[in-house]
Structure formats: C-alpha cells, structure tokens
Structure 1
C-alpha cells in the first residue's frame, strides 16, 4: 500500500511540474543579443506580379534568416528566407508601380538589425491584369458568357454578375480556377436587355476594374427528356452490362445508371431522337462516371463529335443525311495526372461539363454521339452517366 501511495505522489508532482512548465512564456531557444550583419550586393529580378531578390549573405554565424517587408495597398507584407538561401520572392503586387522594400537580418533570438538594406523595385504586370485584357463578354443563350485566357495558370476568381430588377448587382457566378483558358456563364435569364459585369480577383485579393456591357440574352430552354428516345440504327454500338441508352436521360448519375459499351470497333456511336421537329440546339452538358476514382480517367469520354439530322439514312451510314455540329473535348481543370483530382476537378464532375453549339448550326431532330477518345486512351468501350440539352424549337 505504501508503495502504491508513493507512486501516486510521484505522478502528482510530475504532473504539477509539467503544468508549471507549460504555463511559462515560450521564447527563443537561444538567447543572443548580437545584431546580425546585413546582406549585400542585392540583385533584382522583375517577375509578373512579383520581385525576386538575390543577395550575398553576411559571414555571420548569428544570422538565422532574412526578412523582406513591403507595403502593398496599405498592407505590410512579409517574406522570410533562411540563412541557407540567398534569395527570396515577394509576390502579390497589384500593379507595376515602384515599391520600397526593406531587407532585415534576424538572428536566432529574433533580434533584428535595425538598419535594413532599402531598395526600390518594380514588378512586371501581374497575371490577373493580363487575364483581364483577354476577357470577352458576350450575349449567350439564356444569359451571358465571358471567356478568358490564363497563360500563366494563375490562381484566380473570375466573377460574372448582372444588375437585377431592383437595380442592384447580383453576385452571379464565380469560377475559381487556374486553367489555361475557359469561360463563365450566367443562364436561365429572360430575353430582355440586361447590364452584365465581370471582374477578376487573385489570391492576394487584388482586383481588376469591372468590364461592363449591356446585352440581351437569347431564348433557350432545357429540352424535355421525357420526349427522348433511343433511335437504334444498324451501325450503332450496342449496350453492355445492362447500361442502356435511355439511362442517359433518367435524371441519375449514380453508378449503373448510365450507358456502357463493350465492343471491338472504333470509333463508336449511338443515335438519339430528341422527340421534336426542328430543334436548334444551344448547349449541352454531360456527366462522367465518378465512382472507383474514374473521374477524368478510365473509359470516361474525353472527346466526341456531335452530329445532327432531320431524316437519318435507315441503314446507319454516314452519308449527307448527317450534319456535323460540334466536337466536345473534356478538359481536366487542374491538369493533374490520372487518378489525382483537385477541388475544381471534383466540382466540375459534380456539375457536369458544358459545351456550346455554334450559333450557325441547323435545326435538327436526331443526334449522333460519335466517341473518338476516352480518358485512358482505351478503345472498344466507353461510358457516360447523363446528358442534358438546351435549345429552342423552330417553326
């Protein structure tokens, strides 16, 4: 019993000591009041929206790191680089103005040299401003679309908005992206003149001006899927594993509720009757299979041609009864290797990939989906989970 009590007292004492130690204010492990020497021979390299500084380090054992300070938009930014590196990069500049930069040397006790090396430098034009110059805002079916080019693949937020019926700017749609090029659209709007605006923000909250234009959306509506029918022609690819063509418009993207083939010929195609005469298509969306990590991988469709007809040849041949409409090429926003997905990739898989038809496409009733390439490059089989089409019937 005495031994047991002795062990308990030791545990209590150790716990008390640990608690006391943890309550002490933590500071530098090393106590050193030596002021570290400054860097020298600073060289400036101008970068897009950034400045790279290269310098000679002092022969000073007290130096722990070099700290750069710079004020942008009234906010002080700090960048640190260890004593093992002879350079640092300051990012997030909003323009090409001249900025004062202070370079401080700091020791292991956080003692800062009070006399920094001071210089002025100008960054090159920041990427978000370059992307702004590529914006093209235009009317579209059911709303408006803005296209952009982002050659440096900068992390950006591109916001397309509009003035609502109360005269206020609506938040609209925002695309968070670093893809090379793309578009943002607002849909489901009335065909009345509307003021649209678009601006770009980068990850340092730098923002462009707003590009504003008054546009009148073109009429469209989502086609009624209850009218869709499989139009099976002799050369069409048969279904496999119980995944049939009508499952492409059953409203579900769940695994097993799509279309799947398992053949040997290539390319392969299927035919769909949209159920109404003379439909002028504006856009369509399709959903990939996502389970088992198949998004942007395996036999998901990467590239397919869309053809239209008002009266297909019943023998299934590719004759002049078919008119080429467009080619849809799936693009993975992140560009990551197969099997790796970013949040933007996953969001696109959930939303479905959207493709527009050229304005000059003729009105049709029958569609042919001709699959040219899958994400894995495999031939002989492919799958899709769901399809949606938009457009308008012509008189």
Structure 2
C-alpha cells in the first residue's frame, strides 16, 4: 500500500516530463527569424593568386558566418569567415582574369541572405610568376631549373624527360615555398635529350610547359682513394683516434653502428675547419656527407651549418688567402621533430647522405677546406662520418 502511494506520483511526474520534452523539441533557436541582411561596404585588395575582401557585417544577432562563392577552373569554390571578423581571403586563382564572386551572410539556422555580386581581379599568382622565371639548363649528369617565387606560394615544380620509347616520364618533383631556388635531375648520359618543366600549386592550377633539348655534362664521383689529408697550421686536429682518412674509406654504416670511427675534433677554437686534397683538380657538381646516425642523428656534434672552400694554391700559414667559398650548407631534418626524436624519413636521409649542389660557375679546385659553423647541439667540436664529391676532372 505504501509502495503504491509513492509510485503513482513518480509515474505521473515522468509522464509529464516526457510529454513536455515531446512538445518542446529542440531545434534552431532562430528558425522563425528571417534571413540576415547582406554584407555591405565591400572593398577588394588584390593579392598574388588571391583577393582579400573587407566588408561591413549586417546587424543581426543570429549571424553565424559570411561565405563567398566563385567559379575557378569550372569548379565552384567556397570560402567562409566567422562573424567574429569582417574580412576573408579567397585563394587559389590561377591567373589574373576578372572573376565573379557572390557573397552571402548566413544565420545560425543556415538561412542565407541575398547575394552581393562583385568582380575581383587577383595579382599574378605564384604559379605564373614561377613559370615566367623558369630557366632550364644542362648540368652535370642532367639538367637544372631555377625559379623565382616572391610570394612564397606552395608550389610543385615538375621536371620530365622522355624514356626510351619516346614517352614523357616524371623525372622528379620539387616542393617549395622558397622565394627563389633551383633543383636538378641527374643520372643521365651525355647524349642530347629533351627535358621539360612545369609548375603546379595546391589548387591544381598548372602553368604551361617549358621544353628544351639539352646535352647533360659529364659527371662522375671523384675517386675517394686519391683523397689525402693536407693539414695546415690553423686546422683542427683530430681527437680520440677519429682521424680524417676515415671519412673517405667508403664504409657507410647506414644507422647500424654509431661506434664506427669518422673524423672527430675536440673543443677549442670556434669555428673549426679541416683541409684535404681531392688528388685531382676538378670542377665540382655536388657534395654529399654522412653524419653519425641512429639515435645520434641530428643531435650532439653532428654538423648543422658549414661552408666548403676551394683552392689550388693554399697559403702555407693556414690563412684564408687563396681560398674561394664554393658552397654554404645547412643540414635540415625532414620531419622537423625535436632533437632526439627521428622519423623513418630522417634516418633514411642519414643513410643516403645529405646532398648539396655547387652553384653554376664554381671554379675547378684541387684542395677542399670544410669550415664547420654550427653543430646540432651547439657543441664547439664536431664529427663527420663520410664525404663524397661529384664533378669532372679539369683538363
């Protein structure tokens, strides 16, 4: 009897609650309100491959965002901006023609205002600027293309060449946001062949294709067995038994043995440098060095920033008289992970060696001096495991 006394009010309360929930179904709280008014006072700022729109928002408490629609390459692209800001940037234009843009104010219930129609005309996009600047020339073992990208757009520069059947094949793809630069494809015979290059951005805008018939310049890896120490008075001495000839013994351990000796210095004067002979006078095309790998990769005394200098008549007092700077280099970790953390890609680069290209016009030299400016940990001594040089012996 007592149980029935308490059960009945509870049961009735639950029924009333469920009924109330049913009758007050949750929906957009501005469902009954009209669409917001349009944006106004629109100004347009042309940018490279983009435009920035600034506008006055409608005075509507239910406004959620503003969107713009524009047709590019046959596709309607939509850009949105929160009601917390009064501007937006529309990106991805592949040329400098005029485009029709429709701008809408949108409420929290996705009610859309009447469109505002405007015309915009972007500045030259990075994909066009880069294409206009392309310079494709024969190089050691292949071809080199240079480019400019002042807006630092995200670009892919695609190099192609023909296979034995005469069909175009991708030789390499170079991703860049640099304001200027160059890259090379190599490994080809010295016979004339066609190379081509075009530029593409992340919106799949593509440039025309530059095609040239080029004759790759002869290149070979210089014979390591001819390398010799050429110790000068200001050079850094070896330490802990890790001597210079170790770096041209040809033994590449590929992250398997951090104890295999390379060339190691002790703390002292900074920066530090060392000198050796190539055994021949050569016009250099590229250089590769191997750092100490595995868990030591991109840490400790591994070289981060350096310079390569060349000479044919080094000053006997160890000064820099008679030396020419050939190359500035920096070791870059592909993953960008903190020091001590390495990805598979990081370790693959350590195993393959880090490669640097000598600029066009580099003079032929016999003697090399590597000047170490910075190590990965900031330590004022360094180690290096292997070096290799490519080019052509000077006549």
TM-score range, shorter chain: 0.7 to 0.9
Establish whether residue 281 from structure 1 lines up as the match of residue 280 from structure 2: no
Aligned-partner SS, 2:239? coil
Report if the CA contact (8 A) 2:48-2:151 is conserved: no
- Relative to 1, partners in 2 of residues 1:266 and 1:85: Cα closer, same or farther, differing over 3 Å? closer
- Relative to 1, partners in 2 of residues 1:71 and 1:256: Cα closer, same or farther, differing over 3 Å? farther
2:263 to 242, 245, 259: 259
Residue 299 of structure 1 deviates from its aligned partner by: 5.7
Residue 211 of structure 1 deviates from its aligned partner by: 1.2
TM-score when normalising by structure 2: 0.78
* CA deviation map 1:228-269 (0-9, x unaligned): 444555553222345432342322453455432124234433
Partner of 1:128: 127
Partner of 1:356: 358
Partner of 2:307: 304
Aligned-partner SS, 2:245? helix
Partner of 1:89: 89
Aligned residues: 360
Partner of 1:246: 245
Report if the CA contact (8 A) 2:101-2:119 is conserved: yes
* CA deviation map 1:185-206 (0-9, x unaligned): 1111011111111111111111
Unaligned runs of 5+ in 2: 1-25
Partner of 1:382: 382
Partner of 2:14: none
How do residues 1-395 of structure 1 correspond to structure 2 at under 5 angstroms? Answer: 30=29, 32-33=31-32, 34-113=34-113, 115-232=114-231, 235-249=234-248, 250-252=251-253, 254=255, 255-257=258-260, 258-274=262-278, 276-288=279-291, 295=298, 300-309=303-312, 317-318=318-319, 324=324, 326-330=326-330, 352-356=354-358, 358-359=360-361, 361-362=363-364, 364=366, 367-371=367-371, 373-374=373-374, 380-394=380-394
Aligned-partner SS, 1:305? strand
Residue 104 of structure 1 deviates from its aligned partner by: 1.4
Alignment partners' CA distance in 2, 1:147 and 1:265: 38
- Relative to 1, partners in 2 of residues 1:28 and 1:197: Cα closer, same or farther, differing over 3 Å? farther
Aligned-partner SS, 1:81? strand
TM-score when normalising by structure 1: 0.78
Alignment partners' CA distance in 2, 1:375 and 1:107: 55
Q: Which moved more, 1:286-295 or 1:217-226?
A: 286-295
Residue 226 of structure 1 deviates from its aligned partner by: 4.4
Alignment partners' CA distance in 1, 2:376 and 2:151: 27
Alignment partners' CA distance in 1, 2:341 and 2:138: 32
Residue 328 of structure 1 deviates from its aligned partner by: 2.6
Alignment partners' CA distance in 1, 2:185 and 2:43: 47
Alignment partners' CA distance in 1, 2:333 and 2:341: 9
Report if the CA contact (8 A) 1:325-1:358 is conserved: no
Aligned-partner SS, 1:219? coil
Highest Rg: 1 or 2?
2
